[in-house]
Structure 1
């Protein structure tokens, strides 16, 4: 059909008369019967996109249920019980009657907690000076007297220094730190006596040690370091040759050999104890040296040496 139309259009353009065009019409109809008209193929329609599934918000999601905890085996005497054999479980199930649905469930009775034995032990601290044999003595029971007391007191009767033992005129009750410092101090005095007086020490004359009282014996004053087994009073020394050098009668004259020894003892004490009081401190100490390891100052490093 398109060919016939194109032919007629061409003849019209060439100026061929209409009669000739009428002659060609039967020919066009014959051509159309032989060649069927071409039907244009239908155009494919684009596929419509499927609607996307609505997004699930995080808050709309339901959390998965927590796993069911497995039952824990019962324990006996804090040890895990052995699991019964399968045959024993089956026999027990057959022997047990079916539970009555109408019966009220019995309440589980909690086992009674085992009785806790009271701890009567005494916790104390060992003393290195006592363990090494530097001081001779023994541990005592803890002391508690009102505000006074000491957790690990010692009863000291002698010290081992410079290769020999120096006894105390009376045993003293003190703490470990005081016992160690006391041994070092007696060792220094013994070395001086042996060099300056040609005789080492035989014994140390001791006074007050552990005593719950106020300072200088004043009941209204602060508690003395004696109340914490942290102080000792020394009244003098006895040499191996039998001489006795006491604080009150031999402090003066200072230039005498005995006076020099007492001043050497006083000075050596100031390097080992935090508090050293002698005859020049006050009238309360005119007959003895007071030695202690009390705390002075914010850092407990200040010293009093009088």
Structure 2
């Protein structure tokens, strides 16, 4: 027992001594820490010193040139369901209201491009960094290319009612088009584009068909008023999403347009950001948070059910046994459903005409606009998300 007691006492003294030493070393290290250079500690593996990874920062491009394929932007209400106040009432003076700059499409860098298999631009400057599209060397349009593009415009626009202005061949680095036009309005009712869109003729013909044949009947049926204006952005000499290492955007070829809102003849504004309803990603996040399966209808053709689920029909089912809603609440729900149904119809009908259609369900970058272009793909007819 005596030997055991002495051993325990000796172990205790050693523990106290080493504890004091470690405390002093740690304290000394804290005193020296401010004097060390940043990033002085690296992780060593297999005899090598691994330096910290470089962080690439991407600045947002200005909307003055055009929203990225991505574009229209981030707002505080992006993750909130739309309310009745999101739909403007008709103006009292008979004039069509103008959307404030905050409602124009704004750029957003998404987690991944629409086509992840595409290769980035290969041109690089002397420092090894990729050159922007406007700085990359190329050759001017040939007379043959210009003549063929103008002949195509004659064929495509012969039976299209549109007010356009022919522009000279445009070449900005590798951007531009041989026969661009400025689109000001389409249709007999002269649906205006604000600002006027700089596009090639296939896009102009596609927009005219989409608006006249698909949107105008749907707007008249849903709201009792035709579309008077389209708010969006078009040409922008940049890569996709404005990234340095990404394929060239269709916006750079005057082959794409981003649409953020429609303005009806009675003054009502239909914004994609506020009328679409919760996106598929938002529904999945909400379902995961509530430990419930997401309310997403995958059956094609049942657009009404899709719109209803995105507008809170799941809430109606959840509270189905509650007392009936007031007339005001029912009217508000009907208005939301009409907005969502119209926008979903606009998106789905665009997939029948354009090569690429990206909307709020595509990714967070497109939560507040439709991206439309005429890109031709080999392996698939179109990209519709």
For the aligned pair, the TM-score class normalised by the smaller chain equals 0.5 to 0.7
**Is residue 2:369 matched to residue 1:288?**
yes
Match of 2:259 among 223, 231, 234: 234
CA contact 2:160–2:205 (8 Å) conserved in 1:
no
What CA deviation, in whole Å up to 9, does each residue of 1:252-283 have, x standing for no partner? Answer: 16331111100000011000001000011011
Answer yes or no: is 1:265 the counterpart of 2:362: no
Contact 2:256 2:373 in 1 (8 A): yes
Structure 1 CA distance for aligned equivalents of residues 259 and 207 of structure 2? 11
CA RMSD across the alignment: 2.1
The counterpart of 1:148, out of the listed 172, 175, 188, is 175
The answer (yes or no) to whether the contact 1:130–1:138 under 8 Å persists in 2 is: no
Q: Does 1:173 align with 2:206?
A: no
- Cα deviation, residue 169, structure 1: 1.8
8 Å contact 2:356–2:384 — kept in the other structure?
A: yes
Tell me how far 1:302 sits from its aligned partner. 2.0
The alignment of Structure 1 onto Structure 2 pairs a total of residues equal to: 183
- The runs of 5 or more residues in structure 1 that have no matched partner are 1-118
Structure 2 CA distance, aligned partners of 1:120 and 1:133? 26
5+ residue gaps, structure 2: 1-141, 279-306, 309-336
The reply to whether residue 214 of structure 1 matches residue 293 of structure 2 is no
TM-score between the two structures when normalised by the length of structure 2 = 0.45
Q: CA offset at residue 132 of structure 1?
A: 4.7
Give the superposition deviation at 1:285.
0.8
Does residue 271 of structure 2 align to residue 192 of structure 1?
Answer: no
Structure 1 residue 131, shift from structure 2 partner: 4.8
Partners of 1:140 and 1:246 in 2: CA distance: 30
Higher strand share: 1
Shift of 1:137: 1.0
Alignment of 1:111-126 (within 5 A): 123=147, 125-126=150-151
Q: Does 1:278 align with 2:359?
A: yes
Q: How far, CA to CA, are the matches of 2:354 and 2:172 in structure 1?
A: 25
Give, in whole Å, the separation in 1 of the partners of 2:143 and 2:173: 21
State the distance in 2 between where 1:132 and 1:276 align.
24
The 3-state SS of whatever aligns with 1:164 is coil
Residue pair 2:235, 2:256 contacting (<8 A) in 1 also? yes
Separation in 2, partners of 1:149, 1:294:
15
Q: CA deviation at 1:221?
A: 0.2
Q: Secondary structure at the match of 1:261?
A: helix
Tell me, in whole angstroms, the C-alpha distance in 2 between the residues paired with 1:241 and 1:210. Answer: 29
Equivalences for 1:38-53 in 2 at 5 Å?
none
| Whole-Å separation in 1 of the counterparts to 2:258 and 2:184 | 14
Task: Tell me if the contact between 1:130 and 1:137 (Cα under 8 Å) persists in the aligned partners.
Answer: no
- Alignment correspondent of 1:244: 269
- Measure how far apart 1:120 and its partner are: 9.7
State the partner residue of 2:18: none
- Conservation of the 8 A alpha-carbon contact between 1:236 and 1:247: yes
Q: Distance in 2 between matches of 1:148 and 1:274?
A: 19
Q: Partner residue of 1:302?
A: 381
CA distance, structure 2, for counterparts of residue 260 and residue 243 of structure 1: 16
Tell me which protein shows more helix as a share of its residues: 2
| Cα gap change, 1:120 to 1:205, in 2 (>3 Å) | closer
Cα distance between partner residues in 1 of 2:248 and 2:232: 21
The 1:272/1:242 distance shift into structure 2, 3 A limit, reads: same
Q: Check if 1:157 corresponds to 2:197.
A: no
Offset of residue 133 of structure 1: 5.4
Q: Secondary structure at the match of 1:125?
A: helix
* TM-score, normalised via structure 1 length: 0.56
